[in-house]
Structure 1
Amino acid sequence: GDAEITLEAHPDTVTEAGLQYLAQAGFNRISFGMQSSDETELVQVGRPSSATHTSHAVALARAAGFVNINLDVIYGLPGQTIDRWIATVEDALALEPTHLSCYALTVEARTRLEIDLRRGDGVEPDAVLQNTMEDEAARRLKDAGFQRYEISNYCRPGYACRHNLLYWQSGDYLGLGPSAQSYLDGCRFGNVEDLDAYQQALAEGRLPILDTEHLSPEQQRREAVVFGLRLADGVDGRAARAGEPGGDWEDRIQRLARQGLVEEQSGRIKLTDLGRRYADSVAVELL
């Protein structure tokens, strides 16, 4: 069939033989964590790697038969200037991927950056600079023929990531392996993180599930709207209001519209340019 079978890989870890084996096994999409083409920036976030490894990994993947190739890049890295970010975007485009994911740096617990910040050895990401970087990337990627179909994701025509779309369109998905997350029939659940515990549960005939959350029909509807708003096409206005005409829900939508965060056009509710900046705040308001 034409199923999208995708994997993520660190550019330093792939081999010619390994990629050929994966392609022969049926994998047809690969995502590399490029992050930056500046080696100083990579070191500062705890990833001592040569920026040339990504270009080598992409070449190996293409030689193995992969056509659908994504690169993840991050803006707002410590010490990153707008010129360095532009260089990363241009270097990524030079590798001719079919898809690019551009993520704003966030400080995650127990990472090297978070530890450095707690010790006073770093500075928080500059939100204003990150906004400028986002705008610059969006402009350059549009000029290069990429479509922005989701807040952080850009693709060449026909190469939108199917599993990403499944998340944003509230479809069912099953995650296999340690830490994998799933969503089936209104139930969200995640597997244990530890590989040994995962294997032991399976050996004992138990599902290796750690956390489970059952969503009510109303929660499912609201999440469908919140996730769907991340897409450039937004959500169907009638579907967004189904089950709760008027009332508090409608008040919230109208309040967000007055704030310039959402707009309704041709029956669809979408985030505005400003709304994309504050997508998390919009989500909190609607949930």
Structure 2
Amino acid sequence: MSDLRTRLEGSPYQGYSYSYPHKTAYRPLAEPVPLAELWARERKDALYLYLHVPFCGMRCGFCNLFTKARPEGSLVDRYLDALGRQARVVREAIGEASFARMAVGGGTPTFLEAEALDCVLGLAERVMGAGPGRIPISVEASPGTLTAEKLRVLADRGTTRLSLGVESFDEAEARAVNRPQATAEVERALDLIREARIPTLNLDLIYGLPGQSVASWLASLHAALRHRPEELYLYPLYVRPQTTLGRAGRDWDDLRLACYREGRSLLLGEGYAQVSMRMFRSAQAPPEAGPPYRCQEDGMIGLGCGARSYAAGLHYADAYAVRQRGVGAILEGYASRPGAAFGLADHGHRLSEDDRRRRFVIQSLLSGEGLSFSDYSRQFGSELGDDLPEIAELEEAGLATRGPDALRLNERGIERSDVIGPWLYSRKVRTLMEDYEWH
């Protein structure tokens, strides 16, 4: 148990394992793969559609997303034209397919003007066949970009969930991470969202911000709770390469863990259920409708320059960058790409059988549902203990509880999710991530 024990002695925030393998493990493929051939071999009855809008009004100090702050000239229009070309080529390549979920992320999708936002959502419905009333649709937003007109577009296009990146209700804390944001502007945006009657409101908040205390963190949570959001995501502050904070070399581990514990206690007391380390869902939240979808098993189609696509044996995307010069160069290449080029995957990661097993385990274990032994055996035709014997170390370390058919993280294990995820990465993926050349 040496590696797990060593990791547990370090930072609780070693890596957010929302996807495995991470994009820093992607590399140019030796030979481009035609999408029509790739998807002909895949299950396509329950796909996730993700559209990426890589633009923001500002670059936050903690942000390592693929996004361009304050794009100039005709870049946005040229990007949307390319998005339309890509959608048409990809839709033809994948053939008959059904979508179970859809999300529009970024960047900040609501950075777009209302007409452009309608264009993006219209592409999803008109070209991809993912429309209102049939599947859950989630859209990301920031307070300063929201207007009543944009929210009408979202509501008319069937948005069922709006995720608002507030990060903090304290103006000084927001400024400390290069996010000049007036609390009055946040409150105005929240009032507009409630008037638009989008069924589920999610608020993103960050703990561990420079200058933050446990008391000021709880004040932000109480401010959020006044709006009774159906969901809350509580994110620890990550200090990532090439971000403003990363270059400053700052860290706030002790505060983050204290904030997490106090925030968790508050939300549980307010009737929220903890779905994962980050996600809390209100008992009053509407039940999730739409066809069944399991991220461990079902694929994803990504459209846009920063979007990933997941087939069983290949994850692929455009190249990744954080620094604005690198992002700009990649975006220019995307915007000028001819339609036929969108029919090929040329950058990504080929998943070995070991990768596929580890992905299933990580994504199951770090969610509230836990890791089902029977689901694992059904998916891979083998026993979990034979394939990944190290999984038993989680019980030995007091991080998980074994039930009749599932392994679930306990309270201590959930708060160490950002240790357990990276611990389960394969040696090959770890090496690729460590060797990644940041741009």
Equivalent of residue 243 in structure 1, options 362, 365, 382: 382
Which residue is 2:243 aligned to? 111
Q: How far apart are the structure 1 equivalents of 2:401 and 2:331? A: 45
Q: 1-side partners of 2:183 and 2:318: how far apart?
A: 33
> How far 1:276 moved relative to its partner?
2.1
Which digits, 9 at most, give the CA deviation of each residue in 1:47-76, with x for residues without a partner?
011122222112112222312111100001
**Aligned 8 A contact 1:186 1:216 in 2:** yes
- Check whether the contact 1:201–1:208 (CA below 8 A) recurs between aligned residues: no
Unaligned ranges ≥5, structure 2: 1-132, 320-326, 426-439
Number of the residue aligned with 1:145: 271
1:184 CA drift (Å)? 2.1
Cα distance in 2, alignment partners of residues 166 and 172 from structure 1: 9
**Partner deviation per Cα, 1:56-104 (whole Å, 9 max, x = no partner):** 1121122223121111000011111000000011111112211110000
Aligned to 2:302: 175
Judging changes above 3 Å, is the alpha-carbon distance between structure 1 residues 70 and 111 closer, same or farther for their aligned structure 2 residues? same
Q: Which 10-residue stretch deviates more, 6-15 or 234-243?
A: 234-243
Q: Could you tell me how far apart the structure 2 residues matched to 1:206 and 1:186 are?
A: 19
1:101 alignment partner, SS class: strand
Aligned residue among 326, 349, 353 for 1:217 = 353
Checking the alignment, whether the CA contact within 8 Å between 2:316 and 2:348 is kept in structure 1 is yes
| 2:373 paired with 1:234 | no
What letter matches 1:96 in structure 2? R
Counterpart residue identity of residue 145, structure 1? G
**Secondary structure in 1 matching 2:335:** helix
Q: 100-109 or 196-205, which moves further after superposition?
A: 196-205
* Structure 1 portions without partners, runs of 5+: 118-122
- What's the TM-score, normalizing by structure 1? 0.87
Change (3 A) 1:8 1:128: same
Q: Distance in 1 between matches of 2:341 and 2:397?
A: 53
Residue identity in the other structure for 1:176: L
| Contact 1:29 1:66 survives alignment (8 Å) | yes
| Aligned match of 1:278 | 416
Please report how far the alpha carbon of residue 197 of structure 1 lies from its aligned counterpart in structure 2 after TM superposition. Answer: 2.1
Query: In 1, are the aligned partners of 2:373 and 2:383 still within 8 Å (CA)?
Result: no
Which deviates more from structure 2 when the two are superposed, residues 95-104 or residues 25-34? Answer: 25-34
| Distance in 2, Cα, partners of 1:236 & 1:15 | 44
- The more displaced of 219-228 and 269-278 is 269-278
1:37-186 maps to which residues of 2 (within 5 A)?
A: 37-117=169-249, 123-125=250-252, 127-157=253-283, 158-159=285-286, 168-186=295-313
Shift of 1:205: 4.3
Higher RCO (Cα < 8 Å, 6 or more apart): 2
Equivalent position to 1:262, from 400, 423, 429: 400
Shift of 1:7: 0.9
CA contact (8 A) 2:204 2:233 kept: yes
**Distance (Å, rounded) in 2 between the aligned partners of 1:49 and 1:72:** 14
Deviation, 1:246, is 4.3
- Comparing 183-192 with 104-113, which one deviates more in the overlay? 183-192
Within 2, Cα distance between the matches of 1:218 and 1:116?
A: 37
Amino acid paired to 1:79 = G
2:145 to 13, 26, 47: 13
Residue pair 1:237, 1:264 contacting (<8 A) in 2 also = no
1:120 match: none
Residue equivalent to 1:191: 318
Structure 2 CA distance for partners of 1:177 and 1:282, relative to 1, 3 Å: same
Q: Is the 8 A contact 1:186 1:214 kept in 2?
A: yes
Single out whichever of 136-145 and 201-210 deviates more from structure 2. Answer: 201-210
Q: Report how far residue 160 of structure 1 moved.
A: 7.5
The count of residues paired between Structure 1 and Structure 2 equals 279
| Cα distance in 1 between the residues matched to 2:247 and 2:355 | 36
**Counterpart-to-counterpart distance in 1, 2:418 and 2:391:** 15
CA contact (8 A) 1:75 1:103 kept: yes
User: What's 1:36 paired with?
Assistant: 168
Q: Could you tell me which amino acid in structure 1 is paired with residue 371 of structure 2? A: V
Which residue of 1 is the match for residue 18 of structure 2?
Answer: none
1:167-199 deviation line (CA, Å, top 9, x unaligned): 753431222112011212332111355333223
* CA shift in 2, pair 1:206/1:173, >3 Å: closer
User: Which deviations, in whole Å up to 9, do the C-alpha atoms of 1:125-161 show, x marking residues without a partner?
Assistant: 1x23211211111111112221111110011235577
The 1:32/1:176 distance shift into structure 2, 3 A limit, reads same
Deviation (angstroms), 1:30 = 0.9
Answer whether contact 1:181 1:190 (CA < 8 A) is retained.
Answer: yes
Amino acid at match of 1:273: E
- Over the matched positions of the two proteins, sequence identity in percent amounts to 28
Code of the residue aligned with 2:167 in structure 1: it is: Q
Cα distance in 1 between the residues matched to 2:287 and 2:254: 28
